[in-house]
């Protein structure tokens, strides 16, 4: 998160825009990481309707839990 924040902080924007961009990018990155890991695990374990359901659940929880709430806490500590 530190690299992402440094990247966004280097932009010449107001703090609200920086926070919005940081949170959106953080959610997308954490959701993408969870989806890729679920996809790789699905290759080895096999796909089914249940596996697709768990992939969506894992991706959503990672995006909201780690991406959004983690990003908010990180931003609050930086500001």
Are 21 and 8 spatial neighbours (Cβ–Cβ below 8 Å)?
Answer: yes
Residue 5, both tokens: 């924040």
pTM of the prediction? 0.85
Contact 55, 38 (CB under 8 A): yes
Angle at 70 between CA 66 and CA 71, to 5 degrees: 115
Residue-wise pLDDT tens digits, 9-64: 899 999 899 999 999 999 999 999 999 999 999 888 888 888 889 999 999 999 99
Sorted by where each begins, the domain ranges of the chain are: 30-79
Contact between 1 and 74 under an 8 Å Cβ cutoff? The reply is yes
Round to whole Å and give the CA distance between 75 and 6.
11
């Amino acid at each position: 998160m530190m690299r992402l924040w440094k990247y966004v902080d280097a932009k010449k924007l107001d703090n609200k825009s920086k926070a919005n961009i940081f949170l959106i990018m953080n959610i997308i990155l954490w959701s993408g990481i969870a989806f890729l890991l679920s996809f790789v695990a699905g290759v080895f374990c096999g796909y089914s309707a249940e596996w697709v359901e768990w992939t969506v659940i894992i991706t959503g929880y990672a995006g909201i839990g780690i991406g959004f709430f983690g990003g908010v806490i990180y931003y609050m500590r930086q500001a």
